[in-house]
Amino acid sequence: MRNAAACSPTCGLSLHYKKEAKKAEKAFNAETRRRKDESRPVSWHDKKAQDSVNRYILLRDYGRPCISCNKPHRPTDSYKHYVDAGHFKRRGGLYRNLRFNILNIHGQCVECNRDMSGNELEYRKGLIERYGLELVDSLECNSVMHKMDVAYLQRVRKIFDRRAKYYRQRREQ
């Protein structure tokens, strides 16, 4: 005897129509989401990609001291000990291509990042200490521009959301 999903042909037809309606609704929602994303400006996608990269960096550097001042991050202390994703070379202008480069972004205390405008000299020393002078020189000399269109920004966002999820799951274990 077979294991039936429905008790009668009428019931089976009803289940079939419900499944088809769910599939159609799912396809409609996906199409709506796709059209909505296409209509959004590039700046929106840029911001969302940057948020994803910053989230990943904060999870990656969790528990490490500030790259500039080497003070430990203590989220229970004052605002100055909170963590930002600080960029060695600024996000705009000549170094816009390094905006999503993970070697250019590290956990940095709010005091160094916001109050001291990135504390670039100490940041440079911290990078040399962690990675060596060659990497720092390559970051400083890198001025090849990338075209950051919507497809590229969506790809960046997807990649770093996946990486952040990995670090979040790893930390929960």
Domain boundaries, the chain: 7-39, 41-172
The per-residue DSSP string of 101-132 comes to -TTSEEEEEHIIIIITTT-HHHHHHHHHHHH-
- CA proximity to 98, closest of 53, 150, 157: 53
Q: What is the pLDDT along the chain (173 residues), one digit of tens a residue?
A: 456 677 888 888 888 899 999 999 999 999 998 888 788 999 999 999 999 999 999 999 988 999 999 988 766 555 555 888 999 988 877 788 889 999 999 999 888 998 898 899 999 999 999 999 999 999 888 877 777 888 999 999 999 999 999 999 988 87
pLDDT at 148: 85
pLDDT at 77: 54
Which residues, including other chains, have CB under 8 Å from residue 68's CB and lie 6 or more apart? 86, 108, 109, 112, 116, 118, 119, 122, 123, 126
Block residue for tokens 């969506």: 154
Tokens of 22: 């769910």
- CA proximity to 105, closest of 94, 114, 118, 122: 118
Tokens of 59: 């999870």
